[in-house]
Amino acid sequence: MSGSDRLTWLHLLLTQHLTDLPPNRATEALILSANGHIEHALYLVDDGETVWAHVEPGSQEALIAYLESMKFFYRVEVADRTADIAVVHLPAGSIAEVPEGVVVREMPYGRDLFLPRADLESYAGKTGPAAGILAYEALRVEQHRPRVGFETDHRTIPHELGLIGTAVHLQKGCYRGQETVARVQNLGKPPRRLVFLHLDGSEVHLSPAGTEIRLADDGPEGRKIGFITTSVRHHELGPVALALVKRNVPVDARLLAGDTAAAQETVVEP
């Protein structure tokens, strides 16, 4: 997204405060429905001339169509650069060098590089063996970072995932879905909350996304109180998962994911 009005324009559409975003500072933002449900997540950085963002694969056409419909008189241009730009993630602690001129999102948990696809193979050869998406997902789950399309469904609101403050700025307004955010923040509580699960490592199988969660005391036939959203095998933690459970589930409750025992860590306070 380029053009002299890009930050002012995005500030009106997204949940993040962007009018004063300095160059090279990473941030993230959401696009909500009119009812406050999460539709898109954008992982942003401005290089001084252009706002670069990566989004969920396959979502860019719908996102760009929405952005184009909201341009009005603003001096902005929107482009899909998927064909010629790849995203490379360097985890925190990585000593891999960043090529000169490459746009970088610098976060506490690592760096995202917007790397020309033509340079992808040669860059991987310089930095050592490249890890795939399974390794990235394991790190993401360990860091309790939700992902649109994984930790979200058609009714997910930002409070349920702990995105207030990171992707949603409470001191700004005038974006679609803001009324729901303000109402939950000031008057209510979200119906669900994100949790991190340690799954029983003695099980051979890994409980997949969608596995129903119940209270262990109620047994496998008990009332459903949530479901797994992402499950992975972590190189140190073993089988772990992110899940959405009802807000009033006790934080010390023993859980069953299908027939697999699961211990929870609080991500979003009830």
Could you tell me which of 90, 43, 87, 42 has the C-alpha nearest to residue 67? 42
In this model, does residue 125 exceed pLDDT 90?
Answer: no
Per-chain mean pLDDT for the chain: 95
What pLDDT band is residue 267 in, cutting at 50, 70 and 90? very high
Sheet holding 103-107, edge to edge: 85-91, 110-116, 103-107
pTM of the model: 0.94
Question: Cα 227 to the chain's mean position, in Å?
Answer: 18
What pLDDT does 194 receive? 98
Could you tell me which of 197, 193, 90 has the C-alpha nearest to residue 141? 197
Extended beta strands in the chain, E state: 27-32, 38-46, 51-54, 85-91, 103-107, 110-116, 192-199, 212-215, 224-234, 238-246, 255-257, 260-266
What pLDDT does 173 receive? 81
What pLDDT does 260 receive? 95
Q: How many CA atoms lie within 13 A of 121 on its CB side?
A: 1
- Using only the alpha carbons of the chain, give its radius of gyration: 20
What pLDDT band is residue 127 in, cutting at 50, 70 and 90? confident
What pLDDT does 47 receive? 97
Distance CA 135, CA 149 (A): 18
What pLDDT band is residue 129 in, cutting at 50, 70 and 90? confident
**Amino acid identity at 120:** L
In this model, does residue 155 exceed pLDDT 80?
Answer: yes
Are the C-beta atoms of residues 13 and 70 closer than 8 Å to each other?
yes
Question: Cα 169 to the chain's mean position, in Å?
Answer: 16
Instruction: Supply 134's token pair.
Output: 């399974």
Are the C-beta atoms of residues 69 and 9 closer than 8 Å to each other?
no
Distance CA 215, CA 256 (A): 6
Instruction: Supply 247's token pair.
Output: 């807000």
Could you tell me which of 43, 213, 241, 39 has the C-alpha nearest to residue 140? 241
What pLDDT does 201 receive? 86
What pLDDT band is residue 130 in, cutting at 50, 70 and 90? confident
Q: How many CA atoms lie within 13 A of 83 on its CB side?
A: 2
What pLDDT band is residue 42 in, cutting at 50, 70 and 90? very high
Model confidence over 44-62: pLDDT tens digits?
A: 999 999 999 999 999 999 9
What pLDDT does 124 receive? 87
To the nearest whole percent, how much of the chain has pLDDT over 70? Answer: 100
Instruction: Supply 109's token pair.
Output: 């948990």
Model confidence over 169-227: pLDDT tens digits?
A: 999 888 999 999 999 999 989 999 999 999 998 878 899 999 999 999 998 889 999 99
Paired sense of beta strands 85-91 and 110-116, if any: antiparallel
Give bridge partners of residue 231 from the DSSP assignment.
Answer: 241
What pLDDT does 264 receive? 96
